[in-house]
Chains A and B, each alone.
Chain A
């Protein structure tokens, strides 16, 4: 199972929005509405911020939103704040109780 494809980097000014893509295949992203997104700050463990494509765990700001079209999922961070500067990873269930992660995107707040 190959890693999902994400752009290496994305950036935006404080207060603006940034959207990160996550491209897979019909066997993973396109086959299930089971994409999740994780935020990781340097030296820390990943943190779940989106599950089942669009849902946010309790405590995650509504500035974070997710969507999916075909084999590509997207994460949008609106109203960028300094603390949003981090690495972001998507993940998808791929059947047979297996999961796959994305290659990761580093978001920089200008």
Chain B
């Protein structure tokens, strides 16, 4: 069963940092490009990042570039999201998502259950 499991969420103060992790199982992780997507309470999903399967390149949404950094480790089937200088508006559920690639191009086909990040003073 293809599965993504996120961890690392929690409550932090504005300006602090947090690192989220996602572990993949049930499929060949190194073959797949990956995304991070977040969803603020009561809002729609918001795309954040797209990382190539080999981890060599990551694309960031304008609203998180320079604050968020993705690290991918194919030897451990993991992808991480380092979030610095967190703001109240970063409060959301953060999802790790697999890219559909050749089978379902430009779609996000396998989603983790998400991990909640709350930024509050």
Contacts and interface: CB of A to CB of B under 8 A. Distances in A.
Interface string A83-110: 0000001010100111111111000000
A46 interface: yes
Nearest to A96: B59
A68 interface: no
**On chain A, which size bracket covers the interface?**
20 to 34
Nearest to B103: A57
Contacts of A89: 44-45
A103 B45 CA distance: 8
Given A45-B114, A47-B111, A104-B44, 18 more contacts: A1-B62, A32-B106, A38-B45, A38-B108, A45-B112, A45-B113, A46-B108, A46-B111, A48-B108, A48-B109, A51-B100, A51-B109, A91-B47, A97-B50, A98-B47, A98-B61, A99-B108, A101-B44
A34 interface: yes
Given A98-B61, A99-B35, A48 B47 contact: no
14 contacts: A46-B95, A51-B105, A51-B106, A51-B107, A52-B105, A52-B106, A91-B45, A91-B108, A97-B50, A99-B35, A99-B106, A99-B108, A100-B47, A101-B46
B104 A101 contact: no
B47 A57 contact: no
Contacts of A1: 61-62
Interface string B21-37: 00000000000000101
A3 interface: yes
